[in-house]
Amino acid sequence: MGQDMSIRFGSAGSEPGARSGERRLGRWLRDLRRRASVKRTARRGRRGMSLVEVMVVIAIILTLMSIIAIGVWSIFSDSQVDTTRLTMTKINERLEIYMLRKKKPPSSSEGLGAVFGNEQVPKDSWNHEFEYVSPGPNGEPFDLISLGSDGQEGGTGNAADLKWSEMKNN
């Protein structure tokens, strides 16, 4: 019963097979360490993104956001024009009621204040007051004008003047 089953790592050359066993064990440990370091470096490489990759992703996101912002801004600008047209329609209705009661439109000097009385006179979407002209062009009793986003006569796009006499005929 007495065979010793333990492996000895001690003395070099005490038994002929011991040295080869030590070499095999040494090679096995070296290979294990090498594989572990390769795995660690491979994991490090896969762990995150480089600065260039992050910058490219940010540039793509910013480009997409600017395209979307331009589209949203144009819709917002168009909605301001539409809102001003609706406000002009409401003012026209009040002017029609005023003309039914008084049998004539208010003069240019009386302005829209005569129509709205104590109420605040509405402004266009760009917070400019409407210009009221009586008599209007082409035999119309009055004309209502919004000077657009720039608040000055003329202009193009959203800065173009909106005239009631031209809008109601279209």
Q: What is the pLDDT of residue 66?
A: 93
pLDDT band with cut points at 50, 70 and 90 for residue 52: very high
- Partners of 48 in beta bridges: none
Handedness of CA 145, 77, 122, 151 (dihedral sign): negative
Q: Which of 12, 33, 37 is nearest to 22 (CA)?
A: 12
Its sign, for the CA torsion 147, 148, 149, 155, is: negative
Name the more confident of 148 and 88: 88
pLDDT band at 74 (very low <50, low <70, confident <90, very high): confident
Got the DSSP string for 9-77? -SSTTSSHHHHHHHHHHHHHHHHHHHHHHHHHHHHHHHSS--HHHHHHHHHHHHHHHHHHHHHHHHHHH
pLDDT at 16: 59
Percentage of residues in the chain having pLDDT higher than 90: 21
Span 51-167 CATH architecture: 2-Layer Sandwich (3.30)
**Residues 87, 95 contacting (CB under 8 angstroms):** no
Considering only CA atoms, which of 75, 47, 68, 65 is closest in space to residue 158?
75
Q: What is the SS3 string spanning 108-138?
A: CCCCCHHHHCCCCCCECCCCCECEEECCCHH
pLDDT in tens, 93-106: 999 999 999 899 89
Token pair belonging to 170: 């279209």
39-67 b/e (C-beta count within 10 Å ≥ 16 → b): eeeeeeeeeeeeeeeeeeeeeeeeeeeee
In sequence order, what are the beta bridge partners of 123? 129
**pLDDT tens for each residue of 12-21:** 545 556 677 7
